Amino acid sequence: MLQFTNATYLDFNCPEIAKNQRDAIDAVRSKFGKEYPNYIDGKESITDKKTISTNPANPSEIIGVFQKAGQKEADAAIKAAAKAFETWRYVPAEVRANYLFHAADEIRSRRLEINAWMISEIGKTYLEADADTCEAIDFLEFYGREAIRYAQPQELVEFPGELDEYLYVPLGVGVVIPPWNFPFAIMTGITVSAIVTGNTVVLKPSSDTPMMAWLLADIMKRIGLPDGVLNYLVASGGEAGDFLVEHPLTRFISFTGSKDVGLGIFEKANKVSPGQKWIKRVVAEMGGKDGIIVDSEADVDAAAAAVCGAAFSFQGQKCSACSRAMVDAKVYDEFVEKLKENVAKLTIGDPSDNPSMGPSANKSQYETVLKYIEIGKTEGKLVCGGNKIENEKHGFFVEPTVFIDLKEDSRLMQEEIFGPVLAVCKVKDYDHALKVANNTEYGLTGAVFTKNPHKIERAKREFHCGNLYINRKCTGAMVGVHPFGGFNMSGTDSKAGSRDYLALFLQGKSIASK
């Protein structure tokens, strides 16, 4: 088996590659509006109620019609997964891993098509969509190899007169609840990590991106994954979501999304249901309020470009996005001017045309961003953007927006916005910068720009976040290179893409024989 290497992004500056991607978009557009079933125990499941997926750049366009399952279907999906677990748990790790490797091959062959669906369904630009698809491939390849490693004999201290073994066994049935912002990468990662370790799952996708999860479910079905191992269930969050979490056959929940929803899952999972035989495990990543420190000894040009890129790529809709910058007073004015120059270069439009930025994910997110822009006008000085963009298609477009001169305890500096709004705060010195960097309830990503080695070492010790970057932007974690997960209210620090991650879906069994 070859050593793991990360997939390489396509260069869309090449006219031929960009044209191929545009052709793929046109091809999937011809399939808009079709209906897709749920899959329970390998069989198609149709419900009376429907979930409609639309194009955020043109909400009148229907990407697809999906089901909206309730408790009846949720119960059937959990029971199907429980039945499949009784055989899947004993399938050798090498065989399970091969399903992942075959899925990775299938995704490679359909890469531009998958990108095209993502560009259409959630408004990613060409490169952002391709990076998402590449990360899904990486998760499949990396976790497949890791599952084989975990299945090898584990080293123990020798004890005379005994044969001692330590092995990992799967947990059981998992409920997988992925986000809409990395609708293929994270969805794939949290699904296949559970499957490759011998568990079975009910995958409940975001109602904003059911197409992306259907593509994975369809791929796994095509490559012959046994029925019931992956049950695809587009469902009502209020009716079926809570039911899945609280079900006595649910052994674990793997969730990525907002803090409020994540904490609700923790609360429900901690309540023991009648007939439940275990303490449920929750693996959660819940967002962030991520900041970049620009020190007095920084390369200000590099810092301004990095802050702009991290703040506004995918419209600021990444849990790792830079939503605040702490800038030393000595370089503050210079930084602000260079930041404004970078923001002015950004283009906004329909993502099928590959601009710098596309739309907000949905109407609710769009309205939330506009609300925070109004709050920002009362808390700081608006220097870029601040307007919604009207167009004939009524897409959810907002300009990249920058507020400066914000107080460190202002709402824009403290609350997760999940949109193209950047807060800039002037700090007195490096001590002050580190204090502000740590003053939120989150702790996901952060970055420091400085040429001073002593300050870099201080950041490594004192900047309290799960992913810290030095002299580079705070987005763009790569599988196996930057294990990803945060502290505090950012989640359980369950490091996706790490050599620790699969242990979250396993339990240790010690065996001693005379």
| Domain coverage including residue 38 | 15-286+493-513
Q: Quick one: what percent of the chain has pLDDT higher than 90?
A: 97
363, 309: one domain: yes
Is 41 inside any structural domain? yes
Residue 1: what pLDDT? Answer: 73
HSE, side-chain direction, 13 A CA sphere, residue 255: 26
Under 8 Å between Cβ of 397 and 348:
yes
303, 427: one domain: yes
The pLDDT of residue 493 is above 90? no
Is 244 inside any structural domain? yes
The pLDDT of residue 410 is above 80? yes
What mean pLDDT is reported for the chain? 97
Virtual CA dihedral for 484, 506, 215, 51, nearest 10 degrees? -90
Is 7 inside any structural domain? no
Q: What share of the chain is helix, strand, coil (3-state, %, to 5)?
A: 40, 20, 35
Residue 94: what pLDDT? Answer: 98
Is 487 inside any structural domain? no
The whole-angstrom separation of Cα 46 and Cα 227 is 17
| DSSP one-letter code for 31 | T
347, 256: one domain: no
273, 296: one domain: no
Q: What angle do CA 272, 277, 278 make, to 5 degrees?
A: 75
227, 259: one domain: yes
Under 8 Å between Cβ of 182 and 139:
no
Is 9 inside any structural domain? no
Is 8 inside any structural domain? no
The pLDDT tens digits for 312-359 are 999 999 999 999 999 999 999 999 999 999 999 999 999 999 999 999
268, 398: one domain: no
Is 488 inside any structural domain? no
The whole-angstrom separation of Cα 134 and Cα 297 is 35
Query: Quick one: average pLDDT of 76-97?
Result: 98
Query: Quick one: average pLDDT of 209-218?
Result: 98
The whole-angstrom separation of Cα 227 and Cα 217 is 11
Q: How many domains does the chain divide into?
A: 2
Is 165 inside any structural domain? yes
Q: Write out the catalytic residue numbers.
A: 285, 319
Q: Which residues are 230's β-sheet partners?
A: 201
Residue 165: what pLDDT? Answer: 97
Instruction: Return the residue matching tokens 């999937």.
Output: 28
131, 100: one domain: yes
Query: Quick one: average pLDDT of 168-173?
Result: 98
Query: Quick one: average pLDDT of 108-119?
Result: 98
CATH number for the domain that contains residue 95 = 3.40.605.10
115, 185: one domain: yes
Residue 391: what pLDDT? Answer: 85
The pLDDT tens digits for 58-80 are 999 999 999 999 999 999 999 99
Residue 2: what pLDDT? Answer: 83
Instruction: Return the residue matching tokens 């031929």.
Output: 16
The pLDDT of residue 210 is above 90? yes
The pLDDT tens digits for 222-272 are 999 999 999 999 999 888 999 999 999 999 999 999 999 999 999 999 999
Under 8 Å between Cβ of 262 and 491:
yes
Under 8 Å between Cβ of 216 and 139:
no
Please report which confidence band the pLDDT of residue 390 belongs to, taking 50, 70 and 90 as the band edges.
confident
Rg (CA), the chain: 23
217, 158: one domain: yes
Residue 364: what pLDDT? Answer: 96
Phi, psi torsion values for 181, nearest 5 degrees: -80, -30
Q: Are strands 442-443 and 445-449 parallel, antiparallel or unpaired?
A: unpaired
| DSSP one-letter code for 326 | E
229, 328: one domain: no
SS3 29: helix
Which segments of 182-223 are extended strands (E)? 200-203
Go through 426-453 and write b for each residue having 16 or more CB atoms within 10 A of its CB, e for each that does not. bbeebebbbebbeebebbbbbbbbbeee
276, 294: one domain: no
CATH number for the domain that contains residue 367 = 3.40.309.10
473, 497: one domain: no
Phi, psi torsion values for 68, nearest 5 degrees: -140, 90
Residue 369: what pLDDT? Answer: 97
Closest CA to 72 of 235, 269, 217, 274: 235
Please report which confidence band the pLDDT of residue 103 belongs to, taking 50, 70 and 90 as the band edges.
very high
HSE, side-chain direction, 13 A CA sphere, residue 356: 18
